[in-house]
């Protein structure tokens, strides 16, 4: 799923959090962490080249794939949540945006472009899901988000 949709879905699902900004940030971080260094390299070092669509896989450095696998791993999330629980005796609600992000990507990434290896590093298993970039899926995804946000706003103003 695209990074903007992750932020919007995270907020829609976890809007009751005391830290809604952190919900959105946590919802997009699994994609930002692997790609931020790559984008800085592409823009600042190689110059701005606006091209739409995914870049060729062979042009993406290996560290991006490794970082992607780590940030999209339920194994890593579980270890991180365990550490947070040991230190804080609770898991803050905003952190749940991370596994929500992974669950969405499991179903919306194909094996052709950044498959979500959600058991990494224990396994490279992945599901050949729906391509989130296809037009019909984008229409359904953002149409659903629009409807959900309309309902959220309706409830909010109805209670006021």
Phi-psi region of 126 (alpha: psi -120 to 50; beta: other; left: phi over 0): beta
Buried b / exposed e across 116-152, counting CB within 10 Å, b at 16+?
Answer: bbbebeeeeebbebbebeeeeeeeebeeebeeeeeee
Q: Rg of the Cα trace of the chain?
A: 17
Confidence of residue 46 (pLDDT cuts 50, 70, 90): low
pTM of the complete model: 0.91
pLDDT tens figures, 135-146: 999 999 999 999
φ, ψ of residue 54 to 5 degrees: the values are: -70, 145
């Amino acid at each position: 799923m695209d990074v903007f949709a992750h932020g919007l879905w995270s907020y829609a699902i976890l809007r009751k959090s005391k830290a809604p900004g952190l919900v959105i940030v946590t919802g997009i971080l699994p994609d930002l962490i692997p790609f931020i260094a790559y984008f800085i390299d592409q823009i600042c070092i190689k110059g701005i080249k606006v091209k739409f669509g995914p870049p060729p896989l062979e042009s993406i450095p290996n560290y991006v794939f490794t970082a992607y696998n780590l940030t999209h791993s339920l194994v890593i999330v579980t270890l991180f949540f365990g550490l947070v629980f040991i230190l804080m005796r609770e898991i803050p609600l905003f952190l749940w945006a991370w596994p929500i992000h992974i669950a969405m990507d499991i179903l919306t990434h194909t094996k052709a472009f950044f498959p979500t290896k959600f058991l990494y590093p224990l396994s490279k298993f992945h599901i050949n899901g729906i391509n989130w970039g296809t037009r019909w899926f984008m229409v359904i995804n953002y149409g659903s988000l629009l409807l959900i946000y309309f309902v959220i706003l309706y409830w909010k103003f109805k209670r006021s």
